[in-house]
Amino acid sequence: MISWTHYDQPVAHATLHFYRRATNRSKPPLVFCHGFSDNGLCFRRVAEALAPNYDVILVDTRNHGQSSSGEATADDLVEDLAEFVEALGLAPATFIGHSMGAGIVALLASRYPKSVRRIVLEDPAWFDTPLKNSTHSSEKHLAAAQKHLKDLAALTEKQLMALGRQLHPDWSEIEFPDWLTAKQQVHIMAAGGLERANWRELVPTITCPALLLYGDKEAGALLTPSIVEEILNLAPQTIAAHVPGAGHNIRREQFDRYLGCLTQFLEHA
């Protein structure tokens, strides 16, 4: 197992905690952006597989992991990441995001194209019918996310681990320690970063090479084949890879297949 060095990087409205290997600074930068209620080290298994060839950077999003807490929308999280990249001199970097993190990465690629070389999106939360543009629906969505975080916070470590194994019986045991730590660290304000972007407007504005990874709807994947088809029509430079047997957490549920798709894209895009 690789030993990751911990760092803190101030940005305008937060301090972002991240993990990096000091020996890899001369290699191409590869930045990982985790999903809601995870932390940077929830990408540990993938990061360790890629570390020999890349300068791997695992970021804790604001209100997650050991980064600072505070009110933050999805737009704020994108600005955090853009300032982080600039402060560390990483541009242009490759970004890999899961779920909420995939949405942040996609927005970054759209708004800061010079900072991004290519992106990998693991089952972003893009739906056929986005939330209605109303205060009521937004508040309902926020309240549900906050309740989920409060329910997690009420569990003991033993109860939390049991819940993780119950919800994810097919995961490798390797995944659970970092998953558990992340659930203990996440701040209730993290719910503010969950916004459903208008992906039909967003996707055509992304010009860099992109890999879209999706699983099976019946296993819990968010993306559907019809959405994937529409994304490919909107963004011809995007490659889609279906990972059979995976749900929302593709890398955790079909690690070898996920890594195969990822390495092929990184080597040829």
Q: Tell me the per-residue pLDDT of 36-53, one tens digit each, with 9 for 90 and over.
A: 999 999 999 999 999 999
pLDDT of 203 strictly over 70? yes
Q: Which helix (H) or strand (E) holds 15?
A: strand 14-20
What is the number of other CB atoms lying within 10 angstroms of the CB of residue 254? 22
Q: Tell me what pLDDT residue 135 has.
A: 47
Confidence of residue 137 (pLDDT cuts 50, 70, 90): low
Q: Where are the alpha helices (DSSP H) in the chain?
A: 44-50, 74-88, 100-111, 135-153, 157-167, 176-185, 199-202, 225-234, 250-253, 255-268
Q: Tell me what pLDDT residue 25 has.
A: 84
Average of per-residue pLDDT across 95-100: 98
Out of 23-27, 132-136, 157-161, pick the least confident: 132-136
Describe the crossing of helices 157-167 and 176-185 by its angle, rounded to 10 degrees.
120
Whole-angstrom Cα distance, residue 259 to residue 264?
Answer: 8
Whole-angstrom Cα distance, residue 74 to residue 78?
Answer: 6
Domain harbouring 210, CATH code: 3.40.50.1820
Q: How many domains does the chain have?
A: 1
User: What's the whole-model pTM score?
Assistant: 0.95
Amino acid code (one letter) for 42? C
Look at the chain and count its residues.
269
Q: Tell me what pLDDT residue 134 has.
A: 47
Domain that holds residue 106: 5-268
